[in-house]
Structure 1
Amino acid sequence: MALHENNRVFCEKTELFSDPFYGTITKMYEHSAIVKVEPDQLSKKETDKIDSFGDLVVIRHSELQLVDAEGKAIAEPEEELEAAE
């Protein structure tokens, strides 16, 4: 998946959230990312489940969709692979 830090993402739902939400990736890991949930999204979430992390949640890459500022899905750009010499 072509996700990177500072990308805006959408998450349909997770074990923590029964509602979809938007956020920004703050840290990438091999199979997951730390996402900063947008402030207006926190009001409709089960915030007691994320109080210990503030507005940060860990989400699997497979649960994230890259979106633009209006929240529309962006087709993931193909990453260029360097040829081995």
Structure 2
Amino acid sequence: MALHENNRVYCEKTELFSNSFYGTITKIYEHSALVKVEPAQLAKKETDKIDSFGDLVVIRLSELQLVDANGQPMDEPDDEPVEAAE
């Protein structure tokens, strides 16, 4: 997946949320991302699990969808082309 830090993302549903939410990627890991949940979305939380990280959650990359400022799905950005070494 070609998501990057500072991308706005949408997550359909997780263990922590019974509803979908929007957030911004703050760090990318091998198979997951640390996402800063948007303040208005925090009211949707159902458990206290998220409190230990404040407004941050770790989400599998496969559960995230890149979205624009209006929340509309976007194509994932292409990885930068790699030039062959000579």
Q: Which TM-score applies when normalising by structure 1?
A: 0.91
Q: Work out the number of aligned pairs and report it.
A: 85
Q: Cα offset for 1:84?
A: 2.7
Post-superposition offset of 1:46:
1.6
In the TM superposition, structure 1's runs of 4+ consecutive aligned residues that sit over 4 Å from their partners are none
Quote the offset at 1:59 in angstroms.
0.3
| 2:74 matched residue in structure 1 | 74
Aligned AA (1:53): F
Write the letter of the residue equivalent to 2:9: V
TM-aligned CA deviation for residue 77 of structure 1: 2.6
Any residues of structure 2 matched to 1:1-85 within 5 Å, and which?
A: 1-85=1-85
Query: Which ranges of structure 2 fall in alignment gaps of 5 or more residues?
Result: none
Alignment RMSD, CA only? Answer: 1.2
Q: CA deviation at 1:2?
A: 1.3
Q: What is the SS of the residue equivalent to 1:43?
A: helix
Find the aligned partners of 1:14 and 1:35 in 2 and give their Cα distance: 13
The superposition leaves residues 15-59 of structure 1 with CA deviations (integer Å, 9 ceiling, x where unpaired) of: 221110000001111110000000000012125121111010000
Unaligned runs of 5+ in 1: none
TM-score by length of 2: 0.90
Residue identity opposite 2:22 in structure 1: Y
